[in-house]
Every structure is written in structure tokens, then in C-alpha cells.
Structure 1
């Protein structure tokens, strides 16, 4: 381990936390492979991140301290679990969920005032993510608020590096899901045919999934879904409010909406990073990294690399589409991408149809989220309903 490696930066300094995107841009130029006491090694360039994503023999996903299926697994262990997870995000399942997602989204907008100021994260982003996650998994409405609060507690414990608190919070989540599994087992053939019930009937290598494995799979879905979808909604609304010409072009159908969503989220990433661990000594970006070292692939920087995208703030969805790492790359590309894309498209279609104009509030400044979260902690905007 790098016990004696000098720190190249401080990921928890006020300057970094106040504007993560800007700070990572600076690191990409100053020290693209950097060491810190908090994140250990971090990769900022698109080229280096792609290398870590595609060379799983050198950069292992087994960087989690607890069971994490299939995110923290490598082939061949990863392969059968990945096959199970992918079945839940087929086009058939996405099409089946679309009307439910649309109804949830329209209900949220119908509750908005006809005009005036709203706080996006609490009024739209978080409720949107929680409602749709509960609906997709078949969970009761009573879980919405506990899950919303759980995500906040998880982020705070992760940022503080408080492993005792993180373990306690993980057990809290496990309790929510274990209760849902018990209810479905007790219901027997009367259990609802939802995603949670279907997981009880999955086998891996000839045996039933254990409850621990099911909870781990669901935890990965839920953390990714709630945190990044809520962050994505805030980022999308902020960008449209700051770019009224694009807002109107999308409303009039003059831009491809799915491509625009992906490009906005390239410019401002909803997910900051993922972890890897080196299986052998490696030289990357001119730095010597020993075996067994933990590192972070910084999506929020790699997707703004000038060597790949030119001006990182220039809105060029078609030009940047093929190199966009919004949903990752390689063996661990996000299996839930089809669901995320559906949800964000439905949200934006509903926003553009039901809101005539949206702008940043002139009275209150947005508050940026801090690592490990991205986007905004609070986002006041002014809306005019159609």
C-alpha cells in the first residue's frame, strides 16, 4: 500500500467540495493520476478511465468491503449474476413500466403550483426517484420517505468515512428489503408478480439466490437509482433554466431529447466516481501504482476531457455521443441504463409539456451537492405552468 505516498490533492477541501466539476477539471490538467489520503488513487483522464474499465484483469471491481452483487465482482464470478440482473431491464420490462412511470411523473407535476418558486430537489427530483423505484420494485408507498432519508444518511456517512455508521446504515436498508421478502414468501402464490418477487425465484449455478445475495442486488439497484436519478433531474432542470434557448428548442421538438439528456449529463455528471483495485503493479499516466491499491475512476472528469470532447461545456450531443461514459463502459456498463433513460425521458417530456417556462430563482442561489453526491443539494427555480 502507498503508506508513504505524498498527497497530490485533498478531495475534501472546501475548494473541491464547493465546485467538484471545476476542481476535477483542474486536476485533469495538473495531475491526471493523483493520490490522496481520502480517495487514494484517482484517474481523471478519459483515456486512463477507459483503460481501467476495459482491463478487468488489472483493475478489479472487487473493491467493496461488503457483498456487492454484481458491481464488486469480476469474471467468471460476475457473469452468472450479471445475466440475472440484465433480465430485469429488457425492453419488454421497460415498455411495461413506461405507463406507470408516466402516471407517477404527471401526478408530481399536477401537485406543483401554477407559477412561482419551487425547490426542485425536494419537490420533484427526490420524489420522482423514490416513487419510481418503489413502483418498479413493487414496494409500498410507505417506504418512500424512509428510502429518501436513507440515501441522505448514506451519503453523509460515506463522505465522513465513518465505517461504523456506514455498516449501521447498510443494516437499516437490509431490514427494509428483508421485510419485503418475508411478506412475499408469506403470500405464496398470492405474492405480486413484481421484480422483488421474481428475485426470490432466481437461481445462480443451480441453487436459489440467498436472501443476502438478493438484498445486495437490490441495494445496488436502489443506491444507484435513487441517488443518480434524483441528481440527474436536478442537473437537467438547472441546465434548462440556465439555457432558455435549448429549453424552447426541446419544447418545440427541434432537438433530439434522449441525446440532449445524455449530453447535459455528460457536461455535469450525476455520478462522481466508481472504485477499482489493482491486481498487479501498473504504470498509468506516468505513475507507478503497486498491486492491491484502491483507486477511483472519476466519471465527472473523464466525460469532460478536452482531448476527447473539445470544449467540455459545449453542447454537442451527436459529436460526443460515442465517447460519453454516462453509463460506463466495458463489462460493468450499467445494466439499468434502459430504465434510467426511460425515466429521464418521461420526466423531461412531462416537464416540457406541463411547464411553459422555467428559470433560476432570482432570490436564492443553488446549493451544490458534495461528494459522494453530485448535482445540487437544493435548487430553487421559478416556474410558469402551461
Structure 2
């Protein structure tokens, strides 16, 4: 551990406030590098986070006792798996999946708009969209999305509680779901010939097929990323636009600005809490000496609201330069699924903007922010104008 004075904090108390976004701002200003038993060294400033992202020689991604392909790996192993996985998020593949995504979003939005009393965005729109899109992308039965949503929510709770036994059980439970899908495809070689799951079964690394454990790890990472962050993103976008009808009007009149506008809204309220690293050697971050083998937690919510990088950082500006936006990370571990996520969010918002004249927070309701380690909202009531 550090030899200098160590600032301590408790994420379960310091971030469990009505609005953890503002709590992250307070931590960044008060204590930009802080230690907790739970998270190790927490990094809150943009410059420090970016340094960690770009220095994979000093900071390792091999942080989990469970196999994590490829985000829990370092080069050269990471490079081999990463090159294989990137093909699943190519421009052509994402474009081919867009009509399916649009069909799902159009149907869900249409049902929500017809609800004259309004809807609870998280449960009735955001998680349903994320779950159904994930099943469609993987080639899994649509009704399995209920199982994936339930699994993701229990996984988030186990992370919140630090329940390692439950996390291990959930990893095994997800592997059983994957095994069932793999067995179905192995038993019937004439179907599902081009779905993502079958294609993963045909991949090879080190001149051998991927193991069931490797495929399960890949799909688990994709599912957590899809359902957790996409649903959080939708709640964040709808909340911001409900509070800023001028931004709604601007996007209705300027749909071409939607992709960059989404990235900017999610910069101000990030849909992902953090990522982890472990130090390979002694380092100094933000004036703190940190020894080799120490855990490091990168706080996206804070880094993307750093006033040293973004002028009036808490304000959404659709004309802002996005070069320093860390929404999808940076460096060799930048999110490989970013093209798919951007397409899904753009398609969903296009469906919503085209099928409504406006939306606002339902009168008398109070948005409930998600708490550590989740992001976005736990409850968001909106009323649509058709």
C-alpha cells in the first residue's frame, strides 16, 4: 500500500445518496485518489483515469478469479481474443442487425405511447428493449429475455453486496444457460447457421475451438454490458430530455445530431459505474504512491465530469468536442461493442422521437436514481404526448 498519507473512503456510504452523480463530483474535488477496502484505489480525475487506460504495461486487466474474455486479459493473449471478437461488431454486421433492432424498439415504444397514464421507463421500456435486443443479437429465443433481465439484476445486487458466493453461483447459472443454447445447436446443425452463438462455436484460438467456458465468458460480458448499460442509458436519456424540452425540440428537428447528442448526454451522466485494474509495478497517481499488485477502480461518472477537461462539465452541450469523452473507454481495452451500442441507442431514440410529440416527467412522481454499483435510474415515470 502507499507509503504516504492514505485518504480513505467508503463507497457504500459516500455514494449511496439520492444522486450518486453529484456524490462523484464531491469525491473528485475533495479526494481525487482514495482508498477503500472494497474497491482498492479509486481514481476520480479524467487525467488519472486516462493514464491508466493508456498504460497497459503498468496496469493489468487480469483482475478477476473467473475467466473474463477478453476484457480480463492482457496482451498478447488479449490481442488474439480481441481481434476475433471485434468482427462481431463490424460496420456491416451492425448495419445488418439494425432493422431487427428497429422492429423491437418500434413495437415497445408504440405500446408505451398508448399507455395514457404514462409508463415506468426502466421496467416497461429500457430493460425490455435491452433484453429483447440481446436475445435477437445472440440468436436466442425472445422469451429468454426475462431470464437474462432477472439474472442481470441479481448479478448487480450481488456486486452491490460484495457477495462472492452468490456471484460464483450466478456465473455457474449463466454458464448453464449458455450450455443449453450450445447443446441445442450441436444437436441440430441445420438451424441457427448464422446466428452469433453458432458462429462463436466455430471460432478457433491457438488452433483449437473455443471452449464452452470461453464462450460463456464472452456472452456473459456481452449480456451484462448490454442489459445493464443500455437500459441505464435509456433511462438517463429520457430523464434529461424530459427536463429539457428545448433539447427535445432540437433533436426532433435535427435527427442527424442524435448520435453525438446521445454521447454528450451520457457523458454528463454515465451509464457505467466503473472498471477495474491491478498495478503491475509501483506507480504514482494523483500524488499517491501505489505499490505493485494493488487494485485500482476507474470511476467513469467522475472522470467524464472533470472541470479540468470539460468547460461547464455538468452541462449538456450538443456542440461540444467529444474527443475526451470516455463513455466507451480508451486505449486497447476500449469497448468493442461501442458500434452496436451506439446503433441501438440511436434506433431507440429515433423510434421514440418519431412516435411522440413530447414527453415529460409524470406529475407527482420523483425519479429514483440508481445507487452504487448501478447507474441511471431505478424508477422513472414519464408521460408521452402522441
> Normalized against structure 2, the TM-score is what?
0.97
Which residue of structure 1 lines up, in the alignment, with residue 207 of structure 2? 206
Task: Give how far 1:3 is off.
Answer: 12
Which residue of structure 2 lines up, in the alignment, with residue 12 of structure 1? 12
1:126-152 residue CA offsets vs partner (Å, 9 max, x unmatched) = 001001000000000221111111111
Alpha-carbon distance in structure 2 between the residues aligned to 1:349 and 1:254:
8
Query: Is the alpha carbon distance of 1:15 and 1:191 closer, same or farther for their aligned partners in structure 2, counting shifts above 3 Å?
Result: closer
Q: Which runs of 5+ in 1 are unaligned?
A: none
1:173-230 residue CA offsets vs partner (Å, 9 max, x unmatched) = 1111110001001112333310000000000121111111111111111111110000
Alpha-carbon distance in structure 2 between the residues aligned to 1:155 and 1:46:
25
Which residue of structure 1 lines up, in the alignment, with residue 355 of structure 2? 354
1:326-345 residue CA offsets vs partner (Å, 9 max, x unmatched) = 00000000000000000000
Q: Secondary structure at the match of 1:320?
A: coil
| Correspondences of 1:103-114 after superposition (within 5 Å) | 103-112=103-112, 113=114
Task: Give how far 1:375 is off.
Answer: 0.3
Task: Give how far 1:321 is off.
Answer: 0.6
Which residue of structure 1 lines up, in the alignment, with residue 286 of structure 2? 285
Alpha-carbon distance in structure 2 between the residues aligned to 1:279 and 1:19:
34
Contact 1:114 1:384 in 2 (8 A): no
Alpha-carbon distance in structure 1 between the residues aligned to 2:283 and 2:225:
29
| Correspondences of 1:233-312 after superposition (within 5 Å) | 233-253=234-254, 256-312=257-313
Alpha-carbon distance in structure 2 between the residues aligned to 1:67 and 1:225:
19
Query: Is the alpha carbon distance of 1:15 and 1:45 closer, same or farther for their aligned partners in structure 2, counting shifts above 3 Å?
Result: closer
The count of corresponding residues between Structure 1 and Structure 2 is 385
Contact 2:33 2:41 in 1 (8 A): yes
Contact 1:249 1:255 in 2 (8 A): no
Task: Give how far 1:94 is off.
Answer: 0.5
Which residue of structure 2 lines up, in the alignment, with residue 65 of structure 1? 65
Alpha-carbon distance in structure 2 between the residues aligned to 1:199 and 1:18:
42
Q: Secondary structure at the match of 2:322?
A: helix
Contact 1:200 1:209 in 2 (8 A): yes
Contact 2:109 2:355 in 1 (8 A): yes
Whether 2:52 is the aligned partner of 1:52: answer yes
Alpha-carbon distance in structure 1 between the residues aligned to 2:242 and 2:256:
16
| Correspondences of 1:1-386 after superposition (within 5 Å) | 1=1, 8-13=8-13, 16-112=16-112, 113=114, 115-253=116-254, 256-385=257-386
Task: Give how far 1:316 is off.
Answer: 2.2
Alpha-carbon distance in structure 2 between the residues aligned to 1:9 and 1:215:
35
Alpha-carbon distance in structure 1 between the residues aligned to 2:283 and 2:118:
52
Task: Give how far 1:37 is off.
Answer: 1.8
Contact 2:7 2:33 in 1 (8 A): no
Superposed CA RMSD: 1.6
Q: Secondary structure at the match of 1:325?
A: coil
1:91-133 residue CA offsets vs partner (Å, 9 max, x unmatched) = 1101110000000111101212253321000111000100100
Q: Secondary structure at the match of 2:41?
A: strand
Alpha-carbon distance in structure 2 between the residues aligned to 1:364 and 1:226:
25
Task: Give how far 1:320 is off.
Answer: 3.2
Task: Give how far 1:294 is off.
Answer: 0.5
> Normalized against structure 1, the TM-score is what?
0.97
Q: Secondary structure at the match of 2:117?
A: strand
Alpha-carbon distance in structure 1 between the residues aligned to 2:364 and 2:150:
27
Contact 1:2 1:293 in 2 (8 A): no
